Amino acid sequence: MTQGNQGVDKNFDVIVVGAGPAGLAAATVAARAGLNTIVIERGDQPGTKNVMGGILYTKPTAEVWPDFWKEAPLERAIVEQQAWMLTPDSALKGGFRSDKLLDGAPNAFSVLRVKIDRWFAAQAQKAGALIICQTMVEEVLREGDTVVGVRCGREDGELYAPIVILCEGVNPQLAISLGMQKKLRPHQVASVVKEVINLPEQVINDRFHVADSSQGVAMELMADATAGLLGMAFIYTNKTSLSVGVGVTLADAIDCPYTPYDLFVRFREHPQVAPLLAGGETVEYLSHMIPEGGYNAMPQLFGNGVMICGDAGMMVNSLHREGSNNAIRSGMLAAETAIEAHERGDFSSRVLNRYRERLEHSPILADLRKYRNATGFMEHHPVFQVYPQFAADAAYEMMSVDGESKRSKQWKILRMLFERRSIFGLAWDGIDAGRSFP
């Protein structure tokens, strides 16, 4: 890996800013097509600045790196997905487990970003891309309204290319500087605190009921898991550690009495969660933001000589915790557009508009558009405070045997519901949910 830019030619076909999943996918695809491609990364090595919860979907990843799952440093193939609704003392659990999720190429894997990004970077280099680390892009260079290159935070750091692909992550400083994105607002991002907690392989297998360390479980936990704030907690099993995190929308967190670390400790010590983590040793404490503004908060995705991918492009479907797959896909589509632009010798937005068209034909924009009002719904509704507690209380009523008839218990449960939410409130929640989750 090149650490400096001495002796580096200053003219490229494509400049990619950022060595995350989006940038490395873009670089791999562009370099494979023979384009002279450079990736500029501010971290020590690709991956050392990158954070995610830890689930990577196979199919979109394999579109760029076929059969990657046979050799990449993955943690566990996900055989079971669990969703828990927590109340202060209880857990209402749902889930799906099936060996079908492992058939052929498994559907998803838990991953640790430092390992997997380094592997993606190696693939980009094999394809012919040049990766320069420890280098900050400080400015995007323009001639008129056309992007022509970047200026790095080094002496003599100007690099030029007719196409610059911005994969700078959730803090889109360069996109903002170009006027393509606005300063992010608290309701558009979630703040996440995560710990990597070591546990012996066998203990993880036993606690999560998997046969061996090739299989794992992904859990998402809601309601009291985030003290009722809009957000989600997660536990993902790695080979010899758990990735455990709590994320809440910043708009909701801003007036909250808990600090992000308090929220994490509160979750970790929950009576239904603590036994899963007991005895674990924290080996890393991390923080990161997730861009959750959705379709309505997306930047202008292309301009003359420039395209924006991944988190910088707000391409996260927070309801389905899909981010890295959208990053990889969008990077690939930007690179395909860059290849087309080079073939046609036209790098203006007339041709780069094809990037937007490609996104339109992929699941990325279709899904983001589908859920464009979902976050707004969740922000403004009492559902996340009222219903989990109600459901847990109802379950407790039905399951406890105490001499009361089941019919009488059912009436009691109905009364409980109406005490907490009026019939109009219930009807409105149903209608609005239907509209927000089409």
Partner 1 sequence: MNGKTDTGAAEALKRVEEREANVGLADKLYKVKYKTDELTHLKIKDQEVCRKCEDKPCIARCPAEVYEWEAEHGQVLVAFENCLECGVCKIVCPYDNIDWVYPRGGYGVVWKFG
Binding residues for partner 1, rule: CB under 8 A, are 42-44, 47-52, 112-115, 117, 133-136, 152-154, 170-171, 173, 183-186, 189, 191, 193, 195-196, 199-200, 202-203, 206-207, 241, 250, 253-254, 259-261, 278-289
Whichever of 297 and 339 has its CB closer to partner 1, that residue is: 297
In the complex, minimum distance from the CB of residue 285 to partner 1, in angstroms, rounded to a whole number: 4
Whichever of 179 and 200 has its CB closer to partner 1, that residue is: 200
Q: Which amino acid does the sequence have at 382?
A: P
In the complex, minimum distance from the CB of residue 191 to partner 1, in angstroms, rounded to a whole number: 5
Whichever of 32 and 268 has its CB closer to partner 1, that residue is: 268
In the complex, minimum distance from the CB of residue 152 to partner 1, in angstroms, rounded to a whole number: 7
In the complex, minimum distance from the CB of residue 250 to partner 1, in angstroms, rounded to a whole number: 6
Burial 105-127 (b: 16+ CB within 10 A, else e): bbbbbbbbbbebbbbbbebbbeb
φ, ψ (nearest 5 deg) of residue 77: -75, 130
Q: Do the Cβ atoms of 37 and 11 come closer than 8 Å?
A: no
In the complex, minimum distance from the CB of residue 263 to partner 1, in angstroms, rounded to a whole number: 9
In the complex, minimum distance from the CB of residue 227 to partner 1, in angstroms, rounded to a whole number: 14
Whichever of 169 and 331 has its CB closer to partner 1, that residue is: 169
Whichever of 2 and 362 has its CB closer to partner 1, that residue is: 2
Whichever of 148 and 248 has its CB closer to partner 1, that residue is: 248
Whichever of 173 and 213 has its CB closer to partner 1, that residue is: 173
In the complex, minimum distance from the CB of residue 120 to partner 1, in angstroms, rounded to a whole number: 12
In the complex, minimum distance from the CB of residue 129 to partner 1, in angstroms, rounded to a whole number: 18
Whichever of 283 and 366 has its CB closer to partner 1, that residue is: 283
In the complex, minimum distance from the CB of residue 178 to partner 1, in angstroms, rounded to a whole number: 16
Whichever of 139 and 432 has its CB closer to partner 1, that residue is: 139
